[in-house]
Amino acid sequence: MQRSTATSPAHLGALAEESLQRTGDHDALFFEGRTWRSAELLERARRAAGGLRKLGIQPGDRVVVLMANCPEVAITYNATWRIGAVVTPVVFLVTAPELRHVLIDSEAACVVTTTEFLPKVFEAAHDVDTVSHVVVVGDAPTGPVPDGIEVTGFDKLEAAAPADVVDRAEDDLASLMYTGGTTGRSKGVELTHRNLVFCGQSAHAASYVPGLVRALNPLPISHAFGMIVTVGAMHSPEPGFAVLMRWFDPAAWISLAAEHRIQRSALVPAMAQYLLTQPLEDADLGSLRYLNIGAAPLARETIDEVERRLPGVEILEGYGCTESGGVISANPPGRRKIGTVGPPIPGYQVRIVDDSGTPVPDGSDGEVIVHSEGVMHGYRNSQEATESALRDGWLYTGDIGRLDEDGYLTIVDRKKDLIIRGGFNVYPRDVEDVLLEHPAVAMAGVVGRPHDALGEEVVAFVSLNAGAATNSEELIAFARTRLAANKYPREIYVLDALPLTSVGKLDRKTLRGQLRS
């Protein structure tokens, strides 16, 4: 195969090559005791791409990536993009039924995972005809492998000859990212090479401060926020150095930030809250300048307390959604407005509109809509949902907000019933459907309760079938075995009847009122 001569920045495989040429070979990544250089990481991606191609992965094929953070996540992303295939990231918290939905809906050809998640992958992939390969980082499986699936070690993948960049059009699919967990009602957000390159470039331009290139990343790279931080780093004009955490631990975060003289870190609000439980004053965090926080609302009290205990640190809140490539607005360094999520980042237009789609005056509440090259191509297998969300070139987010006279955006509420717990999306209907599987439950309603650390907590209300008996503890245990850890309700209330609207629909507004009272 001839190396593509295309060097368009709107091709993620080519962008990785350009990034190395621009910044040169340098110490780029620290993970669990080892430092990786940028040229070494790219060479691993080139070889992993060759290995995927030897397995028969073709341009356009979906490659599911289900791992906790490790260097192989980003290596797999780059390898997949390099051969023109489509990254389909999945947060490792999902259950086997949730993963199965992704495999079926995406028609995945391959899953890349680690040893500890193999039982879940095998359970989910059983009888899914499209999945022919599972690539394992770590030890090979010891138990039975589902029929029709070939298991390959990641080290064998990297033993292949390096693969050249396969030419792809800007509008070819680069990522298929599932919203709100991965149940039967979640939708695959289709993001093209142009979408991801553009929003990565915009996010970097909005937050870049010359010389501040030492970053600590505890975010799941399989989350939209984490992925765009990764893509954004490829746009840096300076050699950057990132410390990657397998998963967030507040004490480890402080230790790593001090050891590696970290200058900035991206967090979700729950992580900032957990940092306050630690002796921050005892650590040498004098190099730290910015904490970029998004994915859920952050309490003003948390901002004040973090900045009081970390003098010289500025918290910068931002806002985005998966459908917009993970970014929309961000408070700029040195020009933030506390209580807002900042102005739109470069290349993103934001309007606030009423129910008819007409823009409202500054300071008035309405639905947040967005126009940008970073906005998704559409939802997979859901033309109706795509047409509802994308209208006349604008993405209707379903969030309620307002713009002030300086163009800074404040998010007021969510028009949709989405719950954001610890930075992860939870759709009430997903939880309700699981609770309805319990033989005692006649009806279920799920809402979010404000939570200082997590942003929101998942709370359920149920009514029971005539003559049935159960209790909150039993129902919580039931849901916990069927839903991901970030989704099952920690509080369940049993009512005689759930409130309904005048047209017989579940009245979540009334349920939220009951929580407040």
Predicted pLDDT at 95: 86
pLDDT for residue 49: 98
pLDDT at 180: 61
Question: Rounded distance, CA 364 to CA 384, Å?
Answer: 29
Which residues touch 147 (CB under 8 Å, ≥6 apart)? none
What DSSP assignment string belongs to 306-349? HHHHSTT-EEEEEE--GGGTT-SEEPPTT---TTS--SBPTT-E
pLDDT averages per 10-residue partition of the chain, 517 residues: 40 93 96 98 98 97 96 96 96 89 96 96 95 94 88 97 94 90 68 95 92 93 79 92 95 98 91 89 95 82 91 95 94 94 97 94 94 96 94 94 96 79 84 90 91 92 90 96 93 91 67 86
Domain 12-194 has CATH 3.40.50.2300: no
**Rama region for 342: left / alpha / beta (φ>0; ψ in -120 to 50; rest):** left
- Read off the pTM: 0.84
CATH superfamily of 419-516: ANL, C-terminal domain (3.30.300.30)
393: left (phi over 0), alpha (psi -120 to 50) or beta: left
CB of 73 closer than 8 Å to CB of 64: no
Query: Would you kindly state where each structural domain of the chain is located, as residue ranges?
Result: 12-194, 419-516
Query: Is 417 within 8 Å of 435 (Cβ atoms)?
Result: no
